[in-house]
Amino acid sequence: MNWLDIIGILIIVFIVIWSVILDVIAITDEEYSFVGGCSVVSLFLCALVVLIFFFVCDKSAGVTQGYITSVDKNFFGTTAIFIKTSESSQEEYCIEDDKIVDIANENIGKKVTVKYGKRVGLYSTGRCNQGPIESIKLAENE
C-alpha cells in the first residue's frame, strides 16, 4: 500500500461520512426520499473511485522476443523493462518480482524471450497496471 492507495481510501471514507451526515439531516427534516437518493449517489461515487484507483483490466498475455535496452525503477515500486522488438519499435513491460528484475539487469543488451500474463481485477496502485512479466529467458541465437 502506498500514499495513492491511502488517498483513494480517504476519498471513499469522506464520501461515506458525508453521505451519512446528509442522511441524518434528511431524516431529521423528514425528507425520506432524499435518503435513498443520497445513498445511491454515494454508492455510485464510491464504486467510481474504486474503479479509477484500483481496477486493472489487461487481458493480453503472451510471449515476446527482443533485446533488453533498459530496466528502470518506477515511482510506486514496480520496475519497467524496455525491449527493442524491431529496428523502430520498443515495448515497455512491467516487473513486480525482484528475482526477475535481477535477471533483466543481467541480460541488458541481450536477446531474450519474455513471457507476460494477464491482469484483471482490483490491485494496489503500487502494482503493475498491465500484465506483469512472469519469466525472462535468453533467446536462442539464430
First-residue to last-residue Cα distance in the chain: 44
Please state, in angstroms and rounded to a whole number, the distance separating the CA atoms of residues 122 and 134.
19
pLDDT tens for the chain, residues 1 to 142? 788 889 999 999 999 999 999 999 988 888 888 888 888 999 999 999 999 999 999 888 899 999 999 999 887 778 999 999 888 899 999 998 889 999 999 999 999 999 999 999 999 888 888 889 999 998 876 5
Looking at residue 33, what is its pLDDT?
Answer: 82
How does DSSP assign 88-138, residue by residue?
A: S-EEEEEE--HHHHHHHHHTTTSEEEEEE--EEEE--TTS-SSPBEEEEEE
Please state, in angstroms and rounded to a whole number, the distance separating the CA atoms of residues 64 and 107.
15
Q: What is the pTM of this model?
A: 0.75
CA neighbor of 2 nearest in space, from 77, 98, 89: 77
Looking at residue 140, what is its pLDDT?
Answer: 76
**Secondary structure element (H or E) that encloses residue 84, with its range:** strand 79-84
Q: Judge whether 113 and 101 are in contact, CB under 8 Å.
A: no
Q: DSSP label at 83?
A: E
